[in-house]
Structure 1
Amino acid sequence: MKLFAALILWITVISAPDIASIRKMYPTVGKSEANAKEFTAKLAGIANTDETILVAYKAASILLDSKYEKKLSSKMNRFKEGAKLLESTITSEPNSVEIRMIRLSIQENVPGITGYKKNIKEDKAFIIAHINEQNATLKEYIKAFIVQSKSFSAKEKQSAK
């Protein structure tokens, strides 16, 4: 029995995606259905009780994947599922710059008809106010997001470089 428990633990640790690989994939997931599906598959094993940042990326994967659903009802259900999950991560960690960046990246790219665009200004202001408090790796990652984002002005993008 102990061997079985150790094997399960080992498989869980090995198969859990690491945040560095998730961050590396995220900027390209919206570029194709294949990228979105791969990202969704990588995060499929994340439970809602796992590390909040991984849950936020899982929520983003659901939102991105909803774009490729064939039926409108399935598309809407997936979108609502992802948005609800992402909002729950922000509720549990409202001061996470990275989770705010994830929501901003989603909201600036979804169609207006979804009604899921109300936090763009809030998240942008939060990111600008708190980016310098982040560790070097996360700061560079967020700066790279700012440079390609639709929500930041040319002056803000230049400041991020």
Structure 2
Amino acid sequence: MNSFFISGIAFLLVFFQNFSDLRNQYEYASKSKKNTEKFYEVLQKANGDSPVLMAYRGAAILLKSRFATNKEERKEQFILGVKTVEQAVSKDENNVEIRLVRLSIQEHTPKFLKYKSNIEEDKKIILEGFNKQNTVLKEYIHRYMAQSKVFTDSEKSKLK
């Protein structure tokens, strides 16, 4: 039984390290086509069907859609990315990280695509659930909030 416990701890450490790596890659994915492609490839190869992983997969598809060469392909990828992110949200509605992924997408999506309707809802869940998150995720949220325009200075200062 002791080896089972140790194996479980080792699995969790690898699992959380992978999410930490995904978060870092997601932060840099939007900075270039090369970074987007790398992020997309990592997520295509990733095993697992956790809602958080699903949210990042959707984000990767959405980021990749920006670089599609024809309009129809761009539209199809955008729709698939949105669908994937929304499935992740529906599987774990109160997950702060999933809500942060969706908020980050909606904040930076052009208005004409009409994918901005959940920003306030996501922001509320992020703010309410912030203190329950681990330190690494809190730091990730802080980094996002620092550059975000949807969080007020008052909201940012409350989460320090």
Superposition TM-score, scaled by structure 2 size: 0.85
* Deviation for aligned residue 1:157: 2.3
1:44-63 alignment, distance < 5 Å: 44-46=44-46, 50-63=49-62
Separation in structure 1 between the aligned mates of residue 126 and residue 20 of structure 2, nearest angstrom: 20
Determine whether 1:38 maps to 2:43. no
Tell me the equivalent position of 2:88. Answer: 89
Write out per-residue CA displacement over residues 125-159 of structure 1, whole angstroms, 9 at most, x where no aligned residue: 11111101111221121122111112111222233
Matches of 2:154 and 2:32, distance apart in 1: 30
Shift of 1:72: 0.5
Tell me which residue corresponds to 1:77.
Answer: 76
Q: Any stretches of 5+ residues in structure 1 without a counterpart?
A: 1-13
Q: Secondary structure at the match of 1:116?
A: coil
Indicate conservation of the 8 Å contact 1:104/1:124, yes or no. yes
**How many angstroms does 1:31 deviate by?**
1.3
Flag structure 2 segments of 5+ consecutive residues without an equivalent.
Answer: 1-13
Q: Secondary structure at the match of 1:37?
A: helix
Query: Helix, strand or coil: the match of 1:44?
Result: helix
Residue 46 of structure 1 contacts residue 58 of structure 1 at CA under 8 Å; is this kept in 2? no
Amino acid at match of 2:151: F
Identify the residue that residue 25 of structure 2 maps to in structure 1. Answer: 25
Q: Quote the offset at 1:86 in angstroms.
A: 0.4
User: 1:119 corresponds to which residue?
Assistant: 118
CA offset digits 1:54-101 (Å, max 9, x no partner): 111011000011000010010000000000010001000001000000
Equivalent position SS for 1:69: coil
For 1:125 and 1:95, the matched residues in 2 are separated by: 10
**What CA RMSD, in Å, does the superposition of the two structures yield over aligned residues?**
1.7
| Partner Cα separation in structure 1 for residue 159 and residue 70 of structure 2 | 40
Identity of aligned residues (%): 38
| Match of residue 145 from structure 1 | 144
Quick check: 26-35 or 86-95, which moved more?
A: 26-35
Alignment-derived partner of residue 101 in structure 1: 100
Shift of 1:52: 1.7
Partner of 2:155 in structure 1?
156
- How many matched pairs? 145
2:130 touches 2:159 (CA, 8 Å); kept in 1? no
**Displacement of 1:35 after TM fit?**
1.1
